[in-house]
Amino acid sequence: MQIFQQFTGINAIMFYAPVLFQTLGFKSDASLYSAVITGAVNVLVTVVSIYFVDRAGRRVLLLEAGVQMFLSQLVVAIIMGHNVKDHSNNLGHVLAIIVVVMVCSFVSSFAWSWGPLGWLIPSEMLPLEAHSAGQSVAVCTNMLFTFIIAQAFLSMFCNIKFSIFLFFTFWVFVMTTFVVVLVPETKGVPIEEMTERVRKQHWFWERYFEDKPKGVYDDNRRERFSGRRQMKRKRKLKTN
C-alpha cells in the first residue's frame, strides 16, 4: 500500500507542479497559481474521505479513485503527446484549462483514496502483536519511495516527456487490480476482530493463519491454570 501510494505519481506532481505547468506553456505566475490550486484541492477533498470512509467503505473509494486517476493521467498524457514538442509549447488556452482540470481531478481522487487510505488500511490490517513494528516498516517504506520518486521524476520527465504520465497510468492500473484481488473490506470491523472476521475469511490471506488444534489449546490452558495454582500455594507457604 505504501509503495503504491507513491507510484500514483502524486508527490511527483505536487513537488514539481510549477515546473510541469511551465513546461506546458503556462507563464511563471500562472504555473505557481496552478500549483496552489492543486494543493488546495488536495487538502479540501480529503474531507470527502473522512465523511465516506466508514459509509461507502475502503474498497469503493479505492476502486472509484483508481478509475478516475487512470483516466485523468491518460488524458494529460494524450494532450501533452500531441501538443507539447521538444522546443515549442503549442498548448492552447482551452487545452491548458483541460490539463489543469485533469490534474485537479487526479489530485482530488487521490485525496479521498490512496492518500488517507494508504495509511489507514495498513494500520487496520496489521496484527496487534506486531502493530508497532509493522507500522514502522510501513512508514519507512513510504519515506524511502517518496525520496526515490522525488529524485527520479524530473530526470524521467526531461527524458521521456509525456510518457511519464503513461508510466504512472500503468501503475494506477496495477494498484487498482491489486485492490480488486487482494485488499479486503475492513469497514466496521474492530482491529481486535480483524484476524477472525477479515484475514481468515479472505481467499488469499487465510493461508497465513493456522488455527491451533483444540487439544493443544486446552493443554496449554491447563498448564497455565496449574502453574497459577502452584504460585498461589507457594505464596501461602511463605506467608505462613
Residue 167 above 70 pLDDT? Answer: yes
Confidence of residue 168 (pLDDT cuts 50, 70, 90): very high
Give the pLDDT confidence of 1-40 residue by residue, as tens digits: 999 999 998 887 887 777 777 766 677 777 777 778 888 8
- Find all residues with CB under 8 Å of 65, minimum gap 6, and list them: 109, 110, 112, 113, 114
Is the residue at 194 inside a domain? Answer: no
C-alpha cell at 167: 508510466
Helices 114-125 + 93-111 axis angle, to 10: 20
Share of the chain above pLDDT 70, in %: 82
Name the most confidently modeled range: 10-19, 25-34, 66-75, 83-92: 66-75
Confidence of residue 193 (pLDDT cuts 50, 70, 90): confident
117 burial via Cβ count (<10 Å: 0-12, 13-18, 19+)? buried
Same-domain status, 82 and 27: yes
**Distance in Å from the first CA to the final CA of the chain:** 60
Same-domain status, 18 and 109: yes
Give the pLDDT confidence of 105-148 residue by residue, as tens digits: 999 999 999 999 999 998 888 888 888 899 999 999 999 999 99
Same-domain status, 123 and 223: no
Reduced to 3 states (helix: H, G, I; strand: E, B; else coil), residue 15 is helix
C-alpha cell at 28: 511563471
Mean pLDDT of 86-98: 69
- Find all residues with CB under 8 Å of 172, minimum gap 6, and list them: 8, 66, 69, 70, 73
Question: What's the residue count for the chain?
Answer: 240
Reduced to 3 states (helix: H, G, I; strand: E, B; else coil), residue 32 is helix
Same-domain status, 22 and 114: yes
Same-domain status, 224 and 168: no
- pLDDT computed for residue 218 by the predictor: 47
| CATH number of the domain within which 134 lies | 1.20.1250.20
- Domain range enclosing 49: 2-189
- Do 116 and 180 contact (CB within 8 A), yes or no? no
Same-domain status, 121 and 182: yes
Same-domain status, 70 and 173: yes
